[in-house]
Amino acid sequence: MKFFNREKEINEILNILNREPDDIYFIYGSINSGKTTLIKHIIENKLNDNYKIFYINFRTYLISEKREFIEAIFTTKKDDFFEKIKDKSEVLKLITKGAKILTGIPIPEIEFDKLFEEKINDAFQYLNSLLLVVKNSGKQPILIFDELQMIKDVVLNGQKYLLKELFQFLVSLTKEQHLCHVFCLSSDSLFIEYVYNTGELKDRADYILVDDFDKQTAIRFMDFLAKENNIKLSDDDKELIYSYVGGKPKLIVKVMNKLDTISLNEILNSMLKDEISKLDMLLEILDYSKPKIEIGDEIIEIKKEDITNALKLFKNNYEISKKEIPTPVYIYLIKENILFLNPIEGTLKPQSYLVWNAIKKIL
């Protein structure tokens, strides 16, 4: 499928890349809003060979300890081949003459094994030296961490120092050396806020929101998909789809992909029933257990009544101020992927129209 829309976000990121590196950028948005699709489209289609991209997707790793964290960043393999990197000369060839996009920081296997015997800062210094080589070769390095929230366990599991050292190193790459552009992608805005505070990133980071489509854009996206797949949609069909799933690109695609064999009403009702079932189960569990949220040194118990009162605020509103819901309650609902927090605007909304419709049906 061809890429659709996002001209505003594309131009914003391209303008950043045309400037000297100076900030860390968090690309954030609700689940399945298209963050990864956007950044992949840019690096694969909008950038020439004057850039060298190091793209690291933390989702492809189970990261709960320091070794797994390092393994996620570095690679001992030549591109996508199983053949191991033997020495530094092969690394230099990869980063100066190899593919434009590398899925990991290349390192000889022997050097890699040493990283676990030394301080984490030595790993960062190795990366710094490679980025300098890239820069001196005439190419602009770009470092991308996708699915940043996947390092949450290792950070919160007694190794908070890893996060601070990582982001202080990224500050060095951007704010101090102006060496490398850095982008971090995540749908977990709570973790982004934690990273911002723990990493001491005041005046050193900025944000790019990749939101669900507005109604007009969502309907144009439906038209685009209908044309691509030779599907006929009436105006009423498009209005109905939007009323169920809103502007969530992934959900719109899901609906369109099923239209060949299932009626539109059946597709939408099935999707809504599934979302209602998930939310209903969450509320049922609260009848038997009281989850706890840790805020600072305090552990706060969440009651079912707190959750239902919070969700009732969305009966007539899709978006509200976070001040309207007690902090422990909205943190719980965010962790359960019911709500999404926009940390810049200080607002809360359901993760999708589908979730919103489920809330309205149950409450």
Query: DSSP characters for 252-291?
Result: HHHHHHHTTTS-HHHHHHHHHHHHHHHHHHHHHHTTT---
pLDDT at position 154 is 82
Q: Is the pLDDT of residue 158 over 70?
A: no
User: Are 199 and 163 in contact, with CB atoms under 8 Å apart?
Assistant: yes
Whether 90 and 147 share a structural domain: yes
Which tokens belong to 243?
A: 């009323």
Residue 266 covered by a domain: no
Q: Cα dihedral sign for 251, 256, 262, 265?
A: positive
159 vs 65: CA distance, rounded Å: 8
Give the bridge partners for 38, in sequence order. none
pLDDT at position 82 is 64
pLDDT at position 79 is 64
pLDDT at position 359 is 97
Residue 25 main-chain phi, psi, to 5 deg: -115, 125
Whether 190 and 314 share a structural domain: no
7 vs 9: CA distance, rounded Å: 6
Q: Is the pLDDT of residue 159 over 90?
A: no
pLDDT at position 119 is 67
Q: Is the pLDDT of residue 32 over 80?
A: yes
pLDDT at position 305 is 94
Whether 158 and 114 share a structural domain: yes
Of 133 and 98, the one with more pLDDT: 133
Identify the top-confidence range among 101-105, 233-237, 283-287, 290-294: 233-237
Residue 268 covered by a domain: no
Number of domains forming the structure of the chain: 3
210 vs 10: CA distance, rounded Å: 10
Q: What's the whole-number mean pLDDT along residues 4-17? A: 94
- The count of other CB atoms within 10 Å of the CB of residue 66 is 17
Whether 181 and 289 share a structural domain: no
Residue 199: pLDDT band with limits 50, 70, 90: confident
DSSP characters over 99-121: -SEESSEE--HHHHHHTTTS-HH
Whether 29 and 163 share a structural domain: yes
pLDDT at position 230 is 92
Residue 249 covered by a domain: yes
> Within 13 Å and on the Cβ side, how many CA atoms surround 23?
17
Q: Is the pLDDT of residue 157 over 90?
A: no
Q: Is the pLDDT of residue 80 over 70?
A: no
Which tokens belong to 168?
A: 């202080």
> Within 13 Å and on the Cβ side, how many CA atoms surround 95?
31
pLDDT above 70 coverage of the chain, percent: 96
Whether 243 and 204 share a structural domain: no
Domain containing 335 equals 280-362
CA end-to-end span of the chain = 38
Q: Is the pLDDT of residue 319 over 90?
A: yes
Residue 315 covered by a domain: yes
pLDDT at position 1 is 57
Residue 202: pLDDT band with limits 50, 70, 90: very high
Whether 25 and 82 share a structural domain: yes
Residue 152: pLDDT band with limits 50, 70, 90: confident
Whether 161 and 233 share a structural domain: no
